[in-house]
Structure 1
Amino acid sequence: MKREDLNDMLWFLAVAEERSFTKAAAKLGTSQSTISHTIKKLEARMGLRLLTRTTRSVSPTEAGERLIRSLAPRITELESEIDELMEIRDKPSGTVRITLSDHALESVVWPKVRAVLKDYPDIRLELITDNGFRNIVEDRFDAGVRLGESIDKDMIAVRIGPDWRLVAVASPDYLASRPAPQTPQDLVSHDCINHRQSRSGGLYVWEFAKGKRELRVRVDGQLTFNTSYAMIDAAVSGYGIAYVPEDIAAREIASGHLVRVLDDWSPAFPGYYLYYPSRKQNSPAFKVVVEALRQT
């Protein structure tokens, strides 16, 4: 492969990752016209169309997706090798990219890393919120954060947070208008605030457990969000029952703006874990972040 081809493919990866010529150009420090011309030349040399272009978006074709799957792991390996060379410096440096949910960011990750980062000014940390599951290798993340029950077997998993649970909550005004549910099945006659899962696009099926009995309930209502924070606000405003992480609803519960229902049916989930490929050579900067997050 010619060096020119490799450079052009790196530009192609940038466009595919950003889904935009404009954003990729800004990231690479060049003009939109230059990067567009470069990709066209690459496609001409390969005899393949790599990107589908519309007036509003850019997305990889099937051939483009195959090229991404082939290139991304190799680029990651090269970046890892370069990061290892940085060990000769006095302080860890470089970029660490982590994908995680908004709840994991607010409740665990940001509180732990914000103080540590001041001691390592050469570390750049990207925390990308996405409530769906991402392929961290293909999407060029260094790590991701998930609940312990969701970690793939070929990944290294480091526990970073305690167990937590979801709780069903509603405002006193809402509960004054109808009887509170006594069992999860009673939710079908209530207005419930749904949570749409970002990656699959489906609605989260509420999971309950009591002793050895487990129930999954599909709920319905006027509102659907893809973030628990908006669900809490809607519940406080009287739009129905929300099923949200207990810790982020604690303030509204303590103030009386929200009331728990079905509390004895709310199960605990294994806490958050940081996960990353077992074959990856981790940079000093990544090791600093792992140690900052590790549950003690």
Structure 2
Amino acid sequence: MSINYDFGDLEAFLAVKETGSFHKAAAKLNLSQSAITRRIRKLEEALDSQLFLRTTRAVKPTLAAKRLQSRAEVMLQDARETSQAMRDESVAFAHQRNALITIAVLPTSIGTLVLPALRRFREEGHSARVRILDLATNEVAEAVAEGEADFGVSSIPALEATTRFEPLLEERIVLALPINHPMAGQRAVEWANLKSLPLILPSRGTGNRLLIDEAMARARQQFFWTYEVGRTSTALEMVKDGLGAALVPESATGGNDVSYVPLNDTRLMRSIGLLRRATHAETSTVKALINALRKTPK
């Protein structure tokens, strides 16, 4: 029998049980309300039991919830005692405790921001291990809001009330063309020039697609894409193969087999910055990496 829930799900359950509210439970655990809802749903599916009766006025625990409460409390207490014991036994290696930083980043920001910051971080003498989650924009926001990452590097402002966004740089969205395309080498292209091209656009719902759609609307242009892809790297491979032209962030440029031409629209820009939980207590090591990102040349 597999166990398909974790301690975070049990913590969410006990917080809702104690407060009688998904909203108050989210505030107590410093998570978004949607994150609490997902954890409760996951726990209910794993246990095959409804835990709360939800009405417009109240959240009432079911009999299953009342039976689960004492077991959940014991499991969490055992986990805390085990963690404490492990920390006590590892006191001789105190420098390794809390020395793991998890950051959620956009793949296109890695070369521009993340790698230079990591080099500076090491040069300053920090030895913490760094786990990098390269995710889409919405996934970065979710990882930060749910506490799966210490912070994120994202291209859209905070989507949850529990997070805050700090811009670090502005970059253009440019047109990627096959190296031998007639438009390659031009100083800039107009929106109207794109109508004759087989366009490769980011998937709908992504941060880059939102920026592009808004810019098209401002320019009163409407285009029909030929290909829609989830990753900028995929779009560039398709451009390289001659399948079309793609709108991509400037930080993704650099390949010698593709030409990049800016659009004659200064409003087609995106902000790249830090996404952090608003009230989360960050360790000194996390703060040091954040400061290294701030110092990265723009």
Q: Distance in 2 between matches of 1:139 and 1:93?
A: 15
1:236 corresponds to: 240
1:59 corresponds to: none
Alignment pair present for 1:193 and 2:200: yes
2:7 to 7, 10, 24: 10
**Residue 164 of structure 1: CA displacement?**
1.1
Q: Distance in 2 between matches of 1:120 and 1:238?
A: 44
Q: What is the TM-score normalised by the length of structure 2?
A: 0.57
- Supply the AA of the counterpart residue of 1:258: S
**Residue 251 of structure 1: CA displacement?**
4.4
Alignment pair present for 1:104 and 2:109: yes
Distance change >3 Å, CA 293–CA 205, structure 1 → 2: closer
Distance change >3 Å, CA 182–CA 247, structure 1 → 2: closer
* Structure 2 gaps, min length 5: 11-42, 53-63
- Supply the AA of the counterpart residue of 1:155: T
Matches within 5 A, 1:1-296: 9-10=6-7, 43=47, 47-48=49-50, 89=94, 93-117=98-122, 119-121=125-127, 123-133=128-138, 134-135=141-142, 136-138=144-146, 140-147=148-155, 150-152=157-159, 155-159=163-167, 161-175=168-182, 183-197=190-204, 205-208=212-215, 214-215=218-219, 217=221, 219-252=223-256, 257-260=258-261, 263-267=263-267, 269=269, 271-295=271-295
CA-to-aligned-CA distance 1:239-287 (integer Å, 9 cap, x gap): 22211122332443xx7x4152x63225463542112122111112211
- Supply the AA of the counterpart residue of 1:269: M
Q: What is the TM-score normalised by the length of structure 1?
A: 0.57
Count of residues paired in the alignment: 221
**Residue 216 of structure 1: CA displacement?**
6.3
Q: Distance in 1 between matches of 2:237 and 2:6?
A: 45
Could you tell me whether the CA contact under 8 Å between 1:164 and 1:271 is conserved in 2? yes
- Supply the AA of the counterpart residue of 1:228: T
Distance change >3 Å, CA 199–CA 271, structure 1 → 2: closer
- Supply the AA of the counterpart residue of 1:141: A
CA-to-aligned-CA distance 1:151-203 (integer Å, 9 cap, x gap): 356534444x4321111131254438xxxx96314423320112115769x78
**Residue 206 of structure 1: CA displacement?**
4.5
Distance change >3 Å, CA 205–CA 272, structure 1 → 2: closer
Q: Distance in 1 between matches of 2:164 and 2:109?
A: 18
2:16 corresponds to: none
* Structure 1 gaps, min length 5: 1-7, 14-38, 51-62
What's the Cα RMSD here?
4.6
**Residue 143 of structure 1: CA displacement?**
1.3
